[in-house]
Amino acid sequence: MVQRICNHAAMLVLGVFVGGVVVAGWFGLGQGSQVHATATHGESNFAIATGPAANGIEAFYFLDFLTGDLRAAVVSRRTGEFTARFEHNIQNDFQSLSKNPKYLMVTGLADLPRGRGNSQLGTSLIYIAEATSGEVHAYALPFNTTLNAKGAIQRDRLIHLAGGTFRTTFVRDE
């Protein structure tokens, strides 16, 4: 029941956002400026999301609820194929993981220090919340724009940045 309500609420928010973008375009409100959107959706066993990896390049994120595997992929500008792949198992990051975890996943923009060199933190973070415990963790993508421009293969691990509990009461599994 709660899952169905969350799915309906997510679809409502997405619909309102898309409608707003369409209306802004119709009336010319977005002329001369760029519009960026991310998307998130989940089912009973997995969630998917998108978010920027670098300027003009989007990453696709996939979380498998059963295994705890968080994966990301980025399409190469040169080849049009998934050439960058990243992964991290999130189960050890969650201290109060229930037997049947109920995850939520969203992306957000990040303006973190990117460092020097070719591999830098992507421009979005992945936030994963576990609904019964209230724990939330943030992950970053170590993205190499030079490899992407060449169409070269990139394999790496997603970086666990931070985590904590945002709920004071544990909700019991049924």
Helix/strand/coil (H/E/C) assignment for every residue in 46-79: EEEEEEEEECCEEEEEEEECCCCEEEEEEECCCC
Report the pLDDT value the prediction gives residue 163, as an integer from 0 to 100. 93
Report the pLDDT value the prediction gives residue 18, as an integer from 0 to 100. 45
Report the pLDDT value the prediction gives residue 100, as an integer from 0 to 100. 81
Instruction: Specify the pTM.
Output: 0.72
User: How confident is the prediction along the chain (174 residues), in pLDDT tens digits per residue?
Assistant: 545 555 555 554 445 444 444 434 444 444 554 445 566 777 788 999 999 998 888 999 999 999 999 999 999 888 888 999 999 999 999 987 777 888 999 999 887 776 666 668 888 899 999 988 889 999 999 988 888 888 889 999 999 999 998 877 655 655
Report the pLDDT value the prediction gives residue 28, as an integer from 0 to 100. 47
**Whole-angstrom distance, CA of residue 107 vs CA of residue 72:** 12
Report the pLDDT value the prediction gives residue 132, as an integer from 0 to 100. 84
**What residues contact residue 129 under an 8 Å CB cut-off, 6+ apart?**
103, 104, 105, 135, 136, 166
**Whole-angstrom distance, CA of residue 81 vs CA of residue 151:** 8
Burial 47-80 (b: 16+ CB within 10 A, else e): bebbbbbbeebbbbbebebeebebbbbbbbeeee
Residue 61 forms beta bridges with which residues? 49, 72
**Whole-angstrom distance, CA of residue 143 vs CA of residue 155:** 10
Identify residue 40 by its one-letter amino acid code: T
Q: Give the number of other CB atoms < 10 A from CB of residue 10.
A: 17
